[in-house]
């Protein structure tokens, strides 16, 4: 019997990039700068969409994992940056619950989470989410972010997950626009009807 497998791995270029980076990022602007640079490089290397994410120990700023959008390069619709970063962090820490050791971990994402990634956040154990561009910024260039509750931030807060928005939003928007301007594929666009 043949068993199918799916492997989602970060592109090789991320190794070189990460080897030159400081592994501790003290403030959320530094953390977002790392994610934004990953998104920019993901476009330049044509390895996926204009989105990136990283997971840090919230208090110390220690980098745990990164993720870039790999939807088009892997032909896998769930290979969003946040999902990739969460999966790698869980594998690295050998736990499905990133809060199992009572160490709060923070997800920094270049654009607010889509409906799928929003659903994954509470189950992952993440305690804090930091966002760059807004949902409407991604929708404006043509991406379908899915059906999200209008009160998604309050819903996360009710689960003790803190949300911080608009960190380096303008730079994040510029990366989204750069993707479109360089012919990036708008996969899964919003369809009428």
pLDDT attached to residue 187: 77
The answer to whether residues 66 and 10 touch, using CB atoms and an 8 Å cutoff, is yes
Question: Mean pLDDT across the stretch 90-114?
Answer: 96
pLDDT attached to residue 81: 98
Q: What is the mean pLDDT of the chain?
A: 92
115 has pLDDT over 70? yes
The answer to whether residues 99 and 63 touch, using CB atoms and an 8 Å cutoff, is no
Residue percentage of the chain with pLDDT more than 90 = 79
pLDDT attached to residue 190: 62
SS3 111: strand
The pTM assigned to this predicted structure is 0.93
Question: Mean pLDDT across the stretch 89-107?
Answer: 96
pLDDT attached to residue 189: 64
Looking at the annotation, which residues are catalytic? 82
Classify each residue of 76-93 as buried b or exposed e, where b means 16 or more C-beta atoms within 10 Å of its C-beta: eeebbbbbbbbbbbbeeb
188 has pLDDT over 90? no
pLDDT, tens digit, 9 for 90 and up, residues 134-159? 999 999 998 888 899 999 999 999 99
Considering only the C-alpha atoms of the chain, give the largest distance between any 2 of them, rounded to a whole number of Å: 52
Round to whole Å and give the CA distance between 148 and 118.
Answer: 8
Q: How confident is the model at residue 169 (pLDDT cuts 50, 70, 90)?
A: very high
Q: Give residues with Cβ within 8 angstroms of 124, minimum separation 6.
A: 86, 89, 90, 96, 97, 98, 107
193 has pLDDT over 50? no
pLDDT attached to residue 182: 87
Q: Give residues with Cβ within 8 angstroms of 87, minimum separation 6.
A: 8, 67
Nearest C-alpha neighbor of 162 from the set 131, 120, 137, 136: 131
pLDDT attached to residue 125: 97
pLDDT attached to residue 191: 58
* Best mean pLDDT range from 133-142, 143-152, 163-172, 174-183: 163-172
Q: How confident is the model at residue 16 (pLDDT cuts 50, 70, 90)?
A: confident
């Amino acid at each position: 019997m043949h068993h199918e497998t799916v492997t989602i791995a970060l592109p090789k270029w991320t190794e070189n990039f990460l080897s030159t980076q400081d592994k501790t990022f003290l403030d959320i602007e530094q953390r977002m700068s790392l994610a934004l640079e990953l998104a920019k490089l993901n476009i330049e290397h044509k390895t996926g969409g204009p989105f990136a994410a990283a997971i840090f120990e919230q208090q110390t700023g220690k980098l745990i994992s990164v993720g870039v959008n790999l939807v088009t390069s892997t032909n896998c619709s769930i290979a969003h940056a946040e999902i990739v970063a969460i999966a790698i962090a869980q594998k690295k820490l050998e736990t499905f619950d990133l809060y199992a050791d009572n160490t709060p971990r923070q997800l920094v994402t270049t654009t607010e989470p889509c409906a799928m990634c929003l659903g994954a956040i509470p189950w992952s154990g993440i305690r804090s989410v930091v966002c760059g561009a807004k949902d409407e910024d991604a929708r404006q260039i043509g991406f379908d972010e899915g059906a999200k509750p209008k009160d998604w931030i309050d819903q996360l807060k009710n689960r003790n997950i803190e949300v911080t928005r608009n960190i380096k939003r303008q730079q994040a928007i510029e990366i989204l626009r750069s993707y479109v301007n360089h012919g990036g594929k708008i996969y899964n666009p919003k369809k009428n009807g």
